[in-house]
Amino acid sequence: MYDSITKKEFQPYAENGTAEKVNNGVITSIRGNVVDVRFAGQLPEIQNQLVVVAPGDKTESVVMEVVYHLDKTKVRCLSLTSTRGLSRGTEVADTGHPLRVPVGKSLLGRVFNVFGEPIDQQPPVVPVEWRSIYQPPVPLSQQVSSQEILHTGIKAIDLLAPLEKGGKAGMFGGAGVGKTVLIMELMQNMVAHYEGVSLFCGIGERCREAEELYREIRDSGVLDHTVLVYGQMNEPPGARFRVGKTALTMAEYFRDNERMNILLLIDNIFRFVQAGAEVSGLMGQVTSRMGYQPTLGSELADLQERICNTQNGSITSVQAVYVPADDFTDPAITHTFSHLSSFIVLSRERASHGFYPAIDLLQSGSKMLSPTVVGERHYRIVRRVKETLAYYDDLKDIIAMLGMEELSREDQQLVHRARRLERFFTQPFAVTERFTGQKGVLVSLEDALGGCEDILGDLYPEAKEQEFYMIGSLEDIRRKYQ
């Protein structure tokens, strides 16, 4: 981005057209991604962006951000790019503004990094404007609360953990339980069936996953309504820590200026916390509980509070949250919980049994799940489903030790009912079609509710349990056994 920067480009001009003196500094210390710079004149403001004045082959695209004022002449900066090739005495220039990214409808269908640079080998974008990534949250007086449900076409989510339009949903799970696959399916379903823009933010993503997601979205024909922003796993912690703000700045433009509804998918919010811990350590801050940064709560809130509804539009966020060692008492997880309106917990046990999506049917939930929001019928069915599954969970130890024959007739009937429900909540996905050979299906809320009612009412006693596995609605079973 800055491979052709010269000192002249950073000379501000007065109203009469004469050039003013540029504010340059000299690097005095480099410790990893932490760089100290001395200025002879006025110090740059906190969060201002600094760049190397005359970059060479080894220092091109070096971008730094002011974090501290050490004294009257020195500032401490965090490098958002590699510091390879920098040395003491290198001259840097104050750009006079924080990190800015492009916004506008020309971003649709493109892939960007934290600086707003296209990384999809396509022509440069022509933005409406360049906007600072440090935007204040919408004042409470201008926010709009909503009780509207956002349907996803995924049975387990729409029935047990409905998403709030303009709310924040968390997808919790350890490594390898299907968080990214579920995010990709949600993205494809929502963009294909809702008018609006889908914005994917990859924080600490693997390069392989980024390329796969781009290809999936392109092949599904929804790329023109999508923006992808990545801070990849191999980038410095400063870039990974700022990429969430880049994505939010782009999303806020579509909400406020274009009056659209935005689906913001973040994968993975734990990597944002992890990058913040790395930045905190680099800056020499004393660590807090379990090695996290002392500013964990405020940094997470600074990001989350910008996700809200206004009169113009809404930003609905679905965030994948990696749970380290499957420990839900981890400080990063407990802080994230406090910002969410829906929580989808992924179960390693269900994944091991091949029940995908591996959503924990008992632990997942939503604040929208009340009779006044979803209706009496929906609420009643969810209560019965959870009661049945919870009672079956209590019986599992008895079944393992003594066998099904020792249970009463009523308990045996309940076990068969619960096992059918477990399999009914599996669903083939479009994004896994080439691996499984099964065509992905979307299930309406009415079909999901009707299917649960039929299973709870024991309407098809002769149907085998396996017939309820990886299907959409119960239409085929109804035709077969009616």
Would you please indicate which residues are annotated as catalytic (active-site) residues? 179, 205-206
Q: What is the dihedral of CA 91, 96, 97, 101, to 10 degrees?
A: -60
Q: Contact at 8 Å (CB) between 223 and 289?
A: no
Neighbours of 308 (CB within 10 A): 21
R_g (Cα) of the chain, nearest Å: 26
Structure tokens of 152? Answer: 């996803």
User: How would DSSP label each residue in 102-128?
Assistant: EESGGGTT-EE-TTS-B-SS-PPP--S
Instruction: Estimate to the nearest angstrom the gap between the alpha carbon of 389 and the chain centroid.
Output: 30
Task: Decide: helix, strand or coil at residue 368.
Answer: coil
Structure tokens of 190? Answer: 């929502």
Q: Contact at 8 Å (CB) between 259 and 273?
A: no
Backbone angles phi, psi at 118, to 5 degrees: -65, 135
Q: Contact at 8 Å (CB) between 295 and 145?
A: no
Angle at 187 between CA 183 and CA 188, to 5 degrees: 120
User: How would DSSP label each residue in 435-470?
Assistant: HH-PPP----HHHHHHHHHHHHTT--TTS-GGGGTT
Q: Give the span between the Cα atoms of 197 and 224, in whole angstroms.
A: 9
Q: Give the span between the Cα atoms of 131 and 246, in whole angstroms.
A: 9
Task: Decide: helix, strand or coil at residue 7.
Answer: helix
> What does each C-alpha distance from 410 to 381, 388, 406, 458, 460 come to in angstroms?
20, 12, 12, 12, 17
With a CB cutoff of 8 Å and minimum separation 6, the contacts of 175 are: 322
* Per-residue b or e along 6-24, where b marks 16 or more CB atoms closer than 10 Å to that residue's CB: eeeebeeeeeeeeeeebbb
- Which of these, 78, 131, 113, lies nearest to 2 by C-alpha position? 113
Q: Give the span between the Cα atoms of 288 and 280, in whole angstroms.
A: 10
